Structure 1
């Protein structure tokens, strides 16, 4: 009987330690992907989100944020959960929803992060 109680106590203590470790672990950002860290919006060097990142933006603004070196053939990834991104390129203006991406053969010149939850 004592052996069963000791095993039960050891099992309970181990389960409690695991629960405490999980409770103290830092929250992961599942939204970070393709080298783009939450809450960034990243611009990639080509139409693939696996190509090198050439720009990173985080600020919600009321106006356009212009790129220093406008990029042709690009991709954009939005890691933000609740904000949309407007992208201005040679084809017009496009909206990217939260945790979404787009690519284009147009020449990207600017973007704007907006606090709206959808396009």
Structure 2
């Protein structure tokens, strides 16, 4: 299980940095740079508002915030989890909460971190 988490974190980190990771052993075809991806359960995703591209996927419940090295803005946070909330931290220090099975559009603010909590409600 530990290696799966490490792999998932590596994939998320590279997705946030805007690079592509090929997983598996089959042939890999190049996808168009601006493809709209979906956010599947059990992820919390960061999606650019301008073109619908998913730039980050997070799955692990954590006790602290995971830093976002790309510091995105003008994005939608999509929480596909059924029982967990996602907290978003902004550069100005404020925070927002995205309830399970909900989304939040963020314009004009820079994000610096994300934390998935096992709480079922925002507090």
- The TM-score bracket by the shorter chain reads 0.5 to 0.7
Q: Which residue of 1 aligns with 2:69?
A: 68
TM-score normalised according to structure 1 size: 0.66
| Counterpart for residue 104 of structure 1 | 106
Deviations 1:45-104 (A, max 9, x none): 22x7x7100000000000001112110111100000000000011351001100000011
In 2, the alpha carbon distance for the partners of 1:73 and 1:55 equals 13
Q: Is structure 2 residue 45 aligned with structure 1 residue 42?
A: yes
How many correspondences in the alignment?
Answer: 84
| TM-score, normalised by the number of residues in structure 2 | 0.64
Q: Which runs of 4+ in 1 moved over 2 A?
A: none
Match in the other structure for 2:81:
80
| Greater helix content | 1
2:107 is aligned with 1:115? no
Partner of 1:93: 95
Of structures 1 and 2, the larger Rg is shown by 1
Structure 2 unaligned residues grouped into runs of 5+ = 1-36
Q: CA RMSD in A?
A: 1.5
Contiguous gaps of at least 5 residues in structure 1: 1-33
Q: Separation in 2 of the partners of 1:70 and 1:90?
A: 8
Alignment match, 1:57: 58
Cα separation, 2, equivalents of 1:90 and 1:75: 16
